[in-house]
Amino acid sequence: MTTIAPTGAQHTIEADGFRAVVTEVGAGLRSLTHEGRPLIVGYPEDQPPVGSAGLPLLPWPNRVEDGRYEFDGQERQLALTEPKYGNAAHGFTRSFPWQVVSGHAGSVTLRLRLFPQIGYPHVLDFTISYTLDATGLEVETTALNAGGTTAPYGLGAHPYLTLGRPLDEAVLELPAGQWLAVNDRKIPVGRREVEGGPYDFRTARPIGDLALDTAFTGLARGADGLVRVRLATGDGTRGVELWAGEGIGWLQLFTGDTLAGDYRRKGLAVEPMTCPPNAFRTGEDLIRLAPGERVTHRWGISPL
């Protein structure tokens, strides 16, 4: 009897010393290494991802309060997929199988057609390309509205960066000027400045025992238009960077304090997002995707 992995078929790509494994279910990034060194917290093939590790979050990232929102005069109710807090979380596509449409040694592209779901009466075509080259991994995600009605849309992704050692020893550099305070259901209640507070990592400093499950914005970009988050050892001899392109104006950082067993604080989730938590309710930075319209976003991971 053939045993099928919880995440389905495994698609391995390799180039320039990098190796990545992408899953059929969720089109997730299960593993990423450089010369054998892990750059993300991976998980075994015979287990499901822990804490949404490596998964795209579509068509919205993070949470929708009570799963309820209004769009173009319609009241809608999403399934409550985060029952602990009574919210709808991380979109729909994490549990769907994606089809490979092209690939070669260092790249793979997967596709999914999302048909109407509870509380989301739209048809979207998604493609995700994972590509390795001498600089690292690039992920490109495109959403096309294949239906006949305008759809609310936001993108997120959930990789956990790792240095292969305890997170408390890591040094974080995060070029973000603001963060979101949340209530006890993880729903934002206001924007705060990082200046003078515990969430100011604009100058690199150790994370220590700080617990993060926090959205940041006010991102400073380089001349190339990219924002870069860096995690490094205290002596600077090893590091990993997540970069994000235009249109990604938010980053959720999560230290994994609530994860079970060996996964607790094993890595730092750095989640590129096009909109903040609860955007389906507030409309903040929410993309209105008209019929026939498409939008593409890019992010990636490189070793330091």
Please tell me the predicted confidence (pLDDT) of residue 3: 87
d(CA 260, CA 273): 25
Q: Please, are residues 154 and 286 in contact by the beta-carbon 8 Å criterion?
A: yes
Q: What average pLDDT does this structure show over 175-199?
A: 97
The residue length of the chain stands at 304
pLDDT band at 24 (very low <50, low <70, confident <90, very high): very high
pLDDT over 90 (residue 156): yes
Q: Please, are residues 208 and 179 in contact by the beta-carbon 8 Å criterion?
A: no
- The whole-model pTM stands at 0.96
pLDDT digits (tens, 9 = 90+) for 181-191: 999 999 999 99
Mean pLDDT (the chain, rounded):
97
Q: Which helix (H) or strand (E) holds 281?
A: helix 279-282
Q: What average pLDDT does this structure show over 265-279?
A: 97
